[in-house]
Structure formats: structure tokens, C-alpha cells
A and B are shown apart, each in its own frame.
Chain A
């Protein structure tokens, strides 16, 4: 009995010690100045202040643009915190050593002044910083999982179609095999019966493949098929001469539209600045890349500088142009203007350039042939609403049954594009 008791008590004591140990860690991690209130009200007031003014630069438990904030009331005086939040530059210029050290550690990033926050506001902020935001980590994890599950359930899984097809083919093959087996079993059985010569011949007849191969009908069918196939490929091929649809050259920098325009939802016009005001959409100069890439040096939060992003830095440092390879090229005989289509016509970029936000490497999506242009000019209606320029045209066109389309205002005139 006594042995049993002592055996039980050993792990029990370990448990106790572990509990105390973890409690101590907990207390250490969330140490806060006793002046900071942990009341729900203060935390809530602090949260809205934090979200409005601090969130974009500070996280509670993680270094971001500014330092991680939890435990700040333990690290610094309340008075220091209030002074720094209200006007950090003033504290730094007064020569406060801690403030200057922080300023240098975070690359001299200036924290905006917040003179509109009262002392009470700062105390509420501190309440949130020390005691708030603990559910957020768990919630973020759950949200992430939820989003993943949602993505999996949405959309039509195209690979299922292939699987269904494969299964169907397999079933057909199995039926063929079974049928073959039945035929052989039946003929074996019939051979054992006493039958007439004629019936026996019928059962044991073999297909004469040589005869079939040499028959006129077979030769004619095969020849016709081959000629048709060859003619079709030849004609198809001829139609691709001078059409660069599908051209997807390797670029000097492996820039991904899928990442920038798709995942990060940057509008096309942010980089292609000429698209609404000029003939060309423009390829951005590196200073536009640098608006973001002076801060983003690698993809997916990895450490170090990505070799592809390094190429932008080299181009900027050496004042050397990046030699992008042109994808879309119209021959000199045709004139095309982006602003006319995007600004006046209100056409989406994707109408001609395809699902650019899904392209890892840019590919010429449309044929860019004259037939392709004309086709669109015949079908596209003009947005006349709210544009005085079209008033007279609409009036003239009002007798026609069809809507006013590009073709009706000269969209098929030769000299519109060829001059």
C-alpha cells in the first residue's frame, strides 16, 4: 500500500512543479505595469484605438514595421510611452537614448505623431496591448482552415472528368474481355456437340485480315482519311503564318502576373500607366517596381533577397534598362490605340489579353488578326449614355432595329486602322 502511494505521488509532484513552472513563464510573458487596467471596457476601447492608429505598423507579439508591443508597459515608464506615442520625433530629438536606439533599430522609420490621443486613450491602448488580442491568434488559424476548406469545395474539379472517362474506358474493356470469354466458351461447347458440317464451319470461321486489307473499299477509305487529315493540318498551319497567338517568351526577370495581378490584386493601371492616356500601355520603369520592392525583397516571406528581385536593384543601381521582350506586336500596317479602347470604349484588359491574372508567364491570348478585330467591332455596342458626343449619332440611328455598334460609326472603315 505504501509503495503504491509513493509511486503515485512522484508524478503528482512533477505535475505540480510543471504547473508552477508554466505559470511563472506565463506571468513573465504577460508582465504589465500594475497601473494598466485589465478591465474589459478598457481593453475594448483600446482595441478600436489600436486598429485605427497602430495596427498597420505594430503587432502585439511580433516584430513588424515597428516593434512587438506586448510587455511595453513593463519595459518602459508610462510617462515615456505617453510622450513617445504623442510625438516620437520630439522624444528622439531631445536625445533620449532608448528612443534613439529604437529609431536606429527600425531603419529610421518615422512614427507619425498622435497629439490627438489623450492620456486616458494611451492607457486604454496599453490595456489592449497587454491583455487584448489573445483570441486573434486562434481565430486567425481557424479562419485560415475555413478558407482552405471553402476553396476546396468551390469550383468544378476538372480532374474528376478525366477520372470518370478513364473508368468508363476500363469498364468497356472489361465488357469486351468478358464477351470474348463467353464466345470462346460457347464455341468450345458447341464443338463438342454433334453438328452438321455447315454449322461447324460457321462456328470455326476466321476473319481473313489480308483480304480485308486488299479490298478496294478499305484502300479508298484510308486514302481519303489520310488526304483529309493532311489537307486540314496544312490549311490550319497556313492560317498560323503571321499569327503569334500563344507566344510566351522568357523574360529577363521571371515576373509573375499571377502573383501581382492575381493574388495581390494590383490593378493593371498601377504599372501600365499609359493604357488610359496613350497609344501604348507602357512597360513600367524600375522606379515603379521600387515603390513596393524597396520593402519586399523576397517572395512568400522568405529571408534574404530573391535573385529575381535582385535584378531590379541591379538595374536601378547601374542605371541600366531592363530589356523586356515584347509579346504583343502589330505589324506596321495597322494602327492600334489603347486609350481609345480602354478609356473611351471602357473595355476590360482581359477582353483582349485573356486571363492575365492567372498567367505565370505572359502569353499572347488573342490572335490579333484583322478578322478578330472586325468581329469585335461588329458585335460591340457603344456605350452612349452620358456622352454628348454620340447624341446626334444616336438620333440618326434611332430608326434602325439594331443597337448602335462600333461598325455603325466607322469601325469597319479601312482608314481607321490602315493609314
Chain B
């Protein structure tokens, strides 16, 4: 009787200890309740398992690969995401055509006009976007005193004499393609958002 009792006890504590190790920590993802639900069969943009063996213990795939494998073998580096086909144009709510001026055509940019109408909402958006994308280097007031800018050095003081009279097209061109020590931000910020930033820089930071 006593032996059976102690066996029960040991078994119960072992089971509980086993369950304790189900939680996630560090590199351990923890026990998954329904692995097929956590590992998408469809190609996902930000989840990618390259190992063809992964999850083969529960796989019933016809191609014999592991259940978790979800990379696109037809793409370079087996990536799931690809760049858009060359010369395709994304539709946008402003009916804006792609910006075609090349890096070197800074002079030509002066003639480009801001297609986004200036409203209070646009200015508010511009302020928010400026804080997100510009202020790390240019500082909240555009004086080139952001915390990252201090490390990089050579950040333009947007209120300085060399910059204060620049055209809106020039500012848009520089955000898009970069200039001097500034990198190109065209891939990060959509054109209409860039134009909103231009409005904010002109109206609020440079007060013009």
C-alpha cells in the first residue's frame, strides 16, 4: 500500500516537472499545442524555415519534406519575398506617378511641385513623420542635433543659411535619393508621406 502511494507521488511530481519545462525562455520556443497551426504551410513574408527536415516527424506532405519547411525553392536564396517586377507602378490614393528623376538630377528636382495639398491634417502627419524618420539625425527642431546625428556627424542644420531657401522639390529629392552623408530614404517612406514631411519642414521648421 505504502509503495503504491509513493509511486503515485513520484509519478505526479515527475509529470508536473515535465509540464513546467513547456514554457518558453531564451532560445527555447516552448511546447506548441498545434504545431501545424504555428508553422504556416503557405509562404509567409516573415517566417521562413529553410531546413527541409524540420517537422518531418508529423509530416504527411506529398513531396516528402518536413511539415515546417515553407521556403520558395524557385526564388533566389529560397526567399519567400521578391522585389516587384521592374517598372511596375503601385496604385496610390493621390494618383501619384513614380518619381523618375535620378540621383544626379538635383537641379531638375527644383522644378517639381508638391502634389499634396497643405492642410492642418497634412502638417500634423508631417510632424509625426518627421519625428519618426528625420529627428534621429536632424533633431526635433531640425538643427542637426539628433542623438544619432551627433555620432554620424555632418548632419545638415535645416534652419541654417545653406538650407533655408531650398525648394520643396530639392528636399523631396534629397529624402528620396540621399545626399552627401545622408542615405536614401525612398524605400522607407512612401512618396506622399515624403511630400508631407516636405510641407512640415518648409512650414514649421524653416517657417516659410
- B-binding residues in A (CB < 8 A): 52-53, 55-57, 64-66, 109-110, 112-114, 116-117, 226-227, 230-231, 233-234, 236-238, 240-250, 263-267, 269-270, 273, 277, 280, 282-283, 285, 287-288, 290-292, 294-296, 301, 320-321, 323, 326, 329, 331-333, 364
Distance between B128 CB and nearest chain A CB, rounded to angstroms:
9
A249 touches B27 (CB 8 A): yes
A288 to B132 alpha-carbon distance, docked (Å): 14
Interface 0/1 of B134-156, CB less than 8 Å to A? 01110000001111110111111
* Residues on the B chain within 8 Å of A323, using CB: 48, 50
Pick the contact of A269: B132, B149, B160, B185 (CB < 8 A): B132
Does B72 count as interface, using CB distance less than 8 angstroms?
no
A55 touches B157 (CB 8 A): yes
- A-binding residues in B (CB < 8 A): 9, 12-13, 15-34, 37-38, 40, 42, 45-48, 50, 77, 79, 131-133, 135-137, 144-149, 151-157, 159-163, 178, 180-185, 187-190
A237 and B46 contact, Cβ closer than 8 Å, known pairs A112-B162, A295-B153: no
Q: Is the interface of A mostly helix, strand, loop or mixed?
A: loop
A240 touches B30 (CB 8 A): yes
Pick the contact of A264: B33, B47, B147 (CB < 8 A): B147
A270 and B133 contact, Cβ closer than 8 Å, known pairs A263-B147, A264-B147, A320-B77: yes
A291 to B176 alpha-carbon distance, docked (Å): 12
* Residues on the B chain within 8 Å of A55, using CB: 144, 157
Q: List 17 A-B contacts (CB under 8 A).
A: A53-B161, A56-B144, A64-B153, A236-B20, A240-B22, A242-B31, A245-B23, A247-B26, A249-B26, A264-B151, A270-B136, A273-B188, A273-B189, A282-B46, A294-B183, A295-B181, A323-B50
* Residues on the B chain within 8 Å of A243, using CB: 23-24, 30
Q: Chain A: which residue is nearest B183 at the CB level?
A: A291
* Residues on the B chain within 8 Å of A331, using CB: 34, 37-38
A247 touches B161 (CB 8 A): no
A180 to B23 alpha-carbon distance, docked (Å): 46
* Residues on the B chain within 8 Å of A57, using CB: 153-154
* Residues on the B chain within 8 Å of A296, using CB: 151-152
B9 touches A247 (CB 8 A): no
Pick the contact of B133: A52, A64, A227, A269 (CB < 8 A): A269
Q: Chain A: which residue is nearest B5 at the CB level?
A: A223
Distance between A225 CB and nearest chain B CB, rounded to angstroms:
12
Distance between B135 CB and nearest chain A CB, rounded to angstroms:
8
A233 touches B161 (CB 8 A): no
* Residues on the B chain within 8 Å of A291, using CB: 178, 182-185
Most chain A C-beta atoms within 10 Å of own C-beta, residue among B32, B46, B77, B135: B46
A265 touches B136 (CB 8 A): yes
A93 to B115 alpha-carbon distance, docked (Å): 37
Distance between B178 CB and nearest chain A CB, rounded to angstroms:
8
Distance between B12 CB and nearest chain A CB, rounded to angstroms:
5
A116 to B165 alpha-carbon distance, docked (Å): 11
Pick the contact of B25: A116, A248, A280 (CB < 8 A): A248
